[in-house]
Chains A and B, each alone.
Chain A
């Protein structure tokens, strides 16, 4: 233990690991961590990953419940629901949601799902858990910073939660928080203290993302094991890598916007405000531009949607390859399309602003780039489908969710082609069509990617399996249910019904869909409950699930499956394995799969799709001479 390079990492054998460990028991001098070091303030990337997952799940339940509450209002605007009053008290007096709180719920639903669940819960979980395990590192470059990333997320969560219970309620200006509405307490109850807390929470969250992202990027660049060339990294790692880069470049812009907005609110500056007469009073602000905020917001906001979807894409690529027993089709094309998406994602933001009075010429440039981004997206879809072709597919819950992901990504990506066309966006902007688009392509698809990842790596995370019958039930009910919720919204949106309406009955033209709205709400309730069932399965299986007894149950090639069944801090007990081939040698040379750690045979050349057939030793691996 004397030559330990990174003092934060101590090789530590988990209790369970001993029972199944084939590598012998070379226990030497390490101290047992106590409960708090091990599970609460842990610096082990695996524990931090699980912490992100569990906090993300808690938020998903809250955010999901909120959507049920406001869906009840949309389906039965004239009914009252005692259960609402029970949950929300004064906000739903007599069981009827107030309009103010309807908008607060919608805002919190969006914020929670986009940032806390699909950013932290997805990227935080899997980047943390998988990066060191799949590139062959003992931990992240800076485990302490990594722990900080999680605890900033906790702080951010606490602040947001507090905003839910204060007198004037949480922010209610939409997850996009457009000023002037979000800047003026006179204009909306939610723009009072709730908005301050929202901004603080988001700022803390951005710090969390930055700490995590710096770590992911540094770790991937510097800590790959011997032989792990860039083009031998699994697609998961590529996806996490670009996700982190996008986050590092775009989140700070939101940070800036949030601070400027807080200045406008607190100090009376005029970054985003001008010529405002509200609540019978003319304000002194002048010279600011509300549109500027939108530019800043979407400069993050659009990349953010890729921050959410790229990890899911990476996970799905990996899960599909493993369970089809085939290499991912077009590995390099997959990498370059992620790269293409990453670059393009920074130059399409104004497609959210076609009808804000944007200069028409500028808008047309954004149309061009926006539709361009559909090309790499299409390539990925075709490659996934071809990966299935002539496979020997294991249709387990992980794989089913991966297939579901592709289906949803197709459905939602195609509607992007409508919206990216500024001409059509005049009609479709801010209607239910947009709601359908982004829930399918981002919300659902990312959730499916997350589920695929959970079902696939649960055995690695907890040394046990999830109950697969419940997994199948979870999948089919969710699949049918989620299409049932969001597909009809296309029709509603194509008919012109605007989003963010508390009640449609005021307008004759929007009031024709009462039945569809009831149908959608019922489907949402069913999906909510079946996902609760998943949560129960998750926690039950952590303690009582079927035990994993083989090291590599899926027959996967990647490095995480060469670690002990319950890896301790430091991941591998002996030396870190070296890598000699790409991660997709499935069904080759008459064998089912060849792990990355196996040397190339004498007559074997590395699969030519990845270019470098001469395996060359790469960077020195920190902590390699640990034993």
Chain B
């Protein structure tokens, strides 16, 4: 019913506007407006409207900025990037913003101001001005220089970020699938055990070769836990379709590609607790999200990431049991002892997936999993 009333209202408005517009055009014709020409009055009205748009618009941009600045890059000027390279990205971002911001304000202002100032008026003639080599060279060279600086800086930072991971970086393997993540740590020997595609099954989600001793101390926790200040190398992969490993606060993004391993390393610098205090929000957690469209529940791949102080990290590691312990007993018969989070067989009815789980309960095991 409401819809009907709404549609009727729209139709009515259309008719009214349309009739008024017809009358208005007719008036112009009766007043002797020359075909194809604008009257001085019309030009003036339009020029003024453009100026108003420009001024209000530019103010709006500034006001919007002031309102949302605290949230930009998850924290605006005062942002404490949660990773070492994040600081570099952050400063590139602000440099670019200053440069582009200046260009934006100047060019928009001039554009609309010219439109107003040089609007057609009686007795006013345009000036034939077809080119000016000097001017054109100036505005080719200046952008070229500015861009060269930005490129040089950008590429330098890019090489820093994409360089080899430092010796001794912790390894965390993350495997994406519709629609969750499986995480594996190398355990005490610091080497991940072998995986084989052929071994993948409902029970062995990653296709781990349990015969390989290196895999027998590997951990498969249900959160990503990192140690503050220690470089970590994420080894990324996907089982079914593309996904993207996206850690907003750490400024990490790297696609997970079936059949092709990718990686990204970084050093977390702000612990979860520090970030909670900084933001005055004790509920805060770092979140891992998927950034590459991977199907119907792409938006629902939340996974918690924790950064701990070194001491806390040690006790966390100590509290973990290698995943092998869970499957050892049942290696021959099908396992049913796989803990949530490492398992891709937990199924939630697909049709209901538009009803999202409420915030508290959406750790990995409630993620919607395809059962087509």
Write the residues of chain A forming the contact surface with B, with a CB cutoff of 8 angstroms.
Answer: 82-83, 86, 96-100, 103, 172-174, 178-181, 184, 186-189, 273-280, 282, 286, 288-291, 324-333, 355-357, 360, 363-364, 367-368, 371-372, 374-375, 378-379, 381-386, 388-396, 400, 403, 406-407, 410-411, 414-415, 417-418, 421-424, 426-427, 429-431, 459, 465, 467-470, 472-473, 476, 479-480, 483, 487-488, 491, 494-496, 498, 500-510, 512, 529, 532-533, 536-537, 540, 546, 548-550, 552-555, 584, 586-588, 607, 609
Contacts and interface: CB of A to CB of B under 8 A. Distances in A.
B127 A555 contact: no
A483 B57 contact: yes
A83 B1 CA distance: 10
Contact of A360 (B61, B158, B370): B158
B132 to A, nearest CB: 8
Interface string B51-76: 00100010011001100100111100
B191 interface: no
A498 B50 contact: no
B184 to A, nearest CB: 16
Contact of B115 (A184, A274, A395, A483): A395
B87 to A, nearest CB: 12
B49 A100 contact: no
B124 interface: yes
A330 B296 CA distance: 50
A326 B258 contact: no
Contact of B93 (A378, A424, A468): A424
Contacts of A500: 293, 298-299
B299 A501 contact: yes
A451 B248 CA distance: 39
B287 interface: yes
Contacts of A273: 258-259
B300 to A, nearest CB: 5
Contacts of A470: 17-18, 21
Given A280-B202, A379-B136, A503-B299, A508 B147 contact: no
B120 A473 contact: no
Among B157, B262, B356, chain A packs the most CB atoms within 10 A around the CB of B356
Contacts of B283: 508
30 contacts: A83-B3, A103-B293, A103-B295, A103-B298, A181-B293, A184-B240, A186-B370, A188-B295, A279-B372, A282-B200, A286-B259, A290-B259, A333-B136, A356-B255, A357-B255, A360-B158, A360-B163, A384-B111, A386-B135, A390-B127, A391-B126, A395-B38, A427-B93, A473-B21, A494-B73, A506-B299, A509-B249, A533-B14, A533-B17, A537-B18
Contacts of B167: none
Interface in B120-144: 120-121, 124-132, 135-136, 139-140, 143-144
Interface stretch (B29-37, B214-222, B328-336): B29-37
A286 B287 CA distance: 33
Contacts of B202: 280
B354 A99 contact: yes
B197 interface: yes
Contact of B61 (A103, A291, A487, A501): A487
Nearest to B240: A278
Interface stretch (B100-108, B309-317, B319-327): B100-108
A189 B371 CA distance: 11
A407 B120 CA distance: 20
A355 B154 contact: no
A467 B26 CA distance: 9
A552 B37 CA distance: 11
Given A186-B372, A396-B46, A421-B154, 4 more contacts: A388-B118, A390-B127, A393-B118, A488-B64
Contacts, number: 406
Nearest to A384: B111
A284 B294 CA distance: 20
B92 interface: yes
Contact of A290 (B22, B242, B372): B242
B336 to A, nearest CB: 16
Interface in B356-372: 356-357, 359, 362, 370-372
Contact of A422 (B158, B198, B298): B158
A143 to B, nearest CB: 31
B260 A274 contact: yes
B151 interface: yes
A379 B248 CA distance: 35
Contacts of B93: 418, 424, 427
A429 B200 CA distance: 31
B24 interface: yes
A372 B147 contact: yes
Contacts of A505: 356, 359
B306 interface: no
Nearest to B21: A469
B302 A181 contact: no
Nearest to B33: A468
Contact of A278 (B110, B178, B263): B178
A402 B100 CA distance: 22
A512 B263 CA distance: 30
Given A385-B111, A400-B46, A508-B284, A276 B128 contact: no
Contacts of B293: 103, 173-174, 178, 181, 500
B126 A278 contact: no
A184 B155 CA distance: 37
B259 A275 contact: yes
Contacts of B158: 360, 363-364, 367, 422-423
Contacts of A495: 68, 71-74
A586 B354 contact: no
Interface in B252-309: 252-255, 257-260, 262-263, 283-285, 287, 289-300, 302
A548 B35 contact: yes
A424 B126 contact: no
B152 to A, nearest CB: 10
B114 A385 contact: yes
Contacts of A403: 50, 111-112, 115
B358 to A, nearest CB: 9
Nearest to B121: A392
A472 B260 contact: no
B142 to A, nearest CB: 9
A393 B300 contact: no
B259 A274 contact: yes
Contacts of A472: 46
A141 to B, nearest CB: 32
Contact of B296 (A83, A103, A331, A410): A103
Contacts of A278: 178, 239-241, 370
Instruction: Please name the 8 residue pairs, one residue from A and one from B, whose CB atoms are nearest each other, closest first.
Output: A274-B259, A553-B36, A395-B46, A357-B262, A360-B162, A496-B248, A469-B21, A421-B154
Contacts of B130: 327-331, 584, 607, 609
A469 B20 contact: yes
A536 B370 contact: no
A415 B20 CA distance: 40
Contact of A503 (B251, B252, B356): B356
Contacts of A324: 118, 126
Contact of A368 (B151, B300, B357): B151
B230 interface: no
Contacts of A275: 197, 258-259
